[in-house]
Homo-oligomer: A and B are copies of this chain.
Amino acid sequence: MKALGNQLIAELYGCDAQIIDSVQKVEQIFVEAANKANATVIEHNFHNFSPHGVSGAVIIKESHFAVHTWPEFGYCAVDIFTCGDLTDNSAALAVIKNGLQAEHISVTELRRGLLDLVGNFNKPSEKQRTDS
């Protein structure tokens, strides 16, 4: 089925604790990943939390990348959400896995906004009538 969005839910284990505790390194890796995916980066905001961990998002024209890291567990939760079929999400994942030096990765793909289902609920003409 066709979908409006594509989301990769990636769990990365055994990551390098020093890398994933560095806001600068994590931010650099995620911007590089977005570029390697041929996504258009709009902005990126990353923060280092006390005592450990980095949170951040890269807003891309095609949706977003997000990451949250737990250096004390060597674990990172990564989301890659894209629209359209022009981005290379496998290339982005490779940059992220290598950059964070993850020993293990599991990825689940979610298809968001299945068009058949969306069509059943979309009644713009009715809504417009009630708005006026």
- Contacts A13-B121, A13-B122, A14-B121 given: A57-B68 contact, CB under 8 Å? no
**Total identical chains:** 2
Q: Do residues B43 and A45 form an inter-chain contact, with CB atoms below 8 A?
A: yes
The segment from A28-36, A71-79, A88-96 that touches chain B is: A71-79
Q: Does A103 contact B (CB under 8 A)?
A: yes
A contact face: mostly helix, strand, loop, or mixed: strand
Binding site for B on A (CB under 8 A): 4-5, 7, 9, 11, 13-14, 16-18, 42-43, 45, 47, 49, 55-57, 59, 61, 63-64, 66, 68, 70, 72-75, 77, 79, 81, 83, 103-104, 110, 112-113, 115, 117-124, 127-128, 131
